[in-house]
């Protein structure tokens, strides 16, 4: 059953419009996440940066081949397929958008990965799996959408076996009291536009605490902003002119994702990119 707290209509607006579909399919080649650039690498190769970020995730999960892993908010399954092919993991993805799940299944079948990836409808606040079902879990740029991040983290904890590993990747702001009123107004408009209720509830100041409250031991809270910023800068450079032209032709929210990459650059001063690695104690 769909929770009344889940803003499905908002998520459909963010990901379901033809402009978003074109952006994610043609530009991002189905991935719906940012990228990791090493110092000294060119910022322009965004697809390489995305593959590198998936590599970082696989290494942080650090699980043996054949491990069962949950992908919370799997989108069209790009990350799940990377975990299966590059790290030998067996991935179950859940998402609340039927059209993402449809594409995820189709793309996995096309890559002959349907035996090692599966995709189910599920809200990660209330997962339909027994306790201790998974050796690992990750959330790639999805916890920002959580309507109740504490509940989502508790659910990840429940479905992990003792010793299981969690990696949470994504953007977050500094604590509200550390931002100027102008900065807060900017970031909050962005957060509302993109349906990021989670981003109003957690921030750089409380994420470790929330993980511990769910029962996890925090192994690492990595501020990876320097590795993510080149992707922001490149996307801004690629899209600011098309964005300016399209905004003259009609309502720009048809191109919400293009607007998002342009806006993300404007709010970059208030955005940190973190990778949290946590373990469910034995």
Residues in contact with ligand SAM, counted by CB under 6 A, come to a total of 23
Using the rule CB under 6 A, give the single segment among 55-63, 129-137, 140-148, 201-209 that binds ligand SAM.
140-148
Compute the C-alpha angle 171/174/177, nearest 5°.
150
Using the rule CB under 6 A, give the single segment among 70-78, 185-193, 225-233, 269-277 that binds ligand SAM.
70-78
Report if residue 124 touches ligand SAM, rule: CB under 6 A. yes
- Binding residue (CB under 6 A) for ligand SAM from 60, 125, 203, 276: 125
134-140 and 160-172 beta bridge pairing? parallel
Report if residue 277 touches ligand SAM, rule: CB under 6 A. no
Nearer to ligand SAM, 179 or 276 (CB): 276
State in angstroms the smallest separation of the CB of 122 from ligand SAM. 6
CA–CA gap between residue 270 and residue 95 (Å, rounded): 28
Report if residue 108 touches ligand SAM, rule: CB under 6 A. no
Nearer to ligand SAM, 149 or 230 (CB): 149
Report DSSP state, residue 7.
-
- Binding residue (CB under 6 A) for ligand SAM from 135, 141, 155, 188: 141
Select from 122, 143, 152, 31 the least CA-distant residue to 81: 31
Report if residue 118 touches ligand SAM, rule: CB under 6 A. no
The set of residues, in sequence order, having a beta carbon less than 8 Å from that of 227 and lying 6+ positions away, is 36, 37, 38, 273
CA–CA gap between residue 131 and residue 159 (Å, rounded): 5
How far is the CA of 103 from the CAs of 14, 24, 84, 162, 275, in angstroms? 16, 12, 17, 33, 27
Report if residue 155 touches ligand SAM, rule: CB under 6 A. no
CA–CA gap between residue 60 and residue 219 (Å, rounded): 10
Report if residue 82 touches ligand SAM, rule: CB under 6 A. no
Using the rule CB under 6 A, give the single segment among 95-103, 155-163, 171-179, 245-253 that binds ligand SAM.
95-103
CA–CA gap between residue 169 and residue 67 (Å, rounded): 20
CA–CA gap between residue 221 and residue 169 (Å, rounded): 10
Report if residue 259 touches ligand SAM, rule: CB under 6 A. no
- Binding residue (CB under 6 A) for ligand SAM from 74, 82, 187, 271: 74
Rg over CA atoms, the chain: 18
Residues that bind ligand SAM (CB under 6 A): 6, 11, 15, 31-33, 73-75, 78-79, 94-97, 100, 123-125, 140-142, 145
């Amino acid at each position: 059953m769909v929770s009344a707290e889940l803003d499905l209509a908002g998520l459909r607006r963010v990901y379901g419009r033809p402009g978003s579909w074109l952006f994610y399919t043609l530009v991002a080649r189905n991935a719906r996440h940012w990228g990791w650039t090493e110092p000294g690498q060119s910022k322009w190769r965004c697809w390489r940066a995305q593959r590198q970020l998936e590599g970082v995730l696989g290494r942080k999960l650090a699980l043996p081949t054949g491990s069962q892993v949950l992908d919370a908010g799997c989108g069209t399954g790009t990350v799940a397929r990377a975990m299966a092919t590059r790290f030998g993991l067996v991935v179950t993805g859940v998402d609340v958008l039927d059209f993402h799940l449809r594409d995820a299944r189709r793309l996995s079948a096309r890559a002959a990965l349907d035996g090692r990836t599966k995709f189910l409808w599920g809200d990660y606040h209330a997962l339909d799996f027994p306790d201790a079902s998974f050796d690992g879990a990750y959330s790639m740029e999805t916890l920002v959408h959580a309507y109740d991040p504490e509940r989502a983290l508790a659910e990840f904890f429940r479905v992990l076996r003792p010793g299981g590993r969690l990696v949470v990747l994504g953007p977050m702001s500094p604590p509200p009291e550390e931002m100027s009123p102008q900065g807060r107004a900017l970031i909050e408009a962005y957060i509302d536009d993109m349906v990021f209720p989670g981003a109003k509830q957690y921030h750089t100041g409380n994420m470790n605490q929330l993980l511990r409250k769910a029962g996890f031991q925090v192994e690492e809270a990595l501020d990876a902003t320097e590795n993510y910023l080149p992707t922001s800068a490149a996307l801004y450079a690629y899209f600011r002119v098309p964005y300016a032209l399209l905004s003259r032709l009609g309502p720009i929210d048809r191109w919400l994702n293009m607007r998002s990459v342009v806006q993300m650059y404007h709010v970059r001063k208030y955005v940190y990119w973190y990778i949290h690695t946590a373990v469910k104690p034995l």
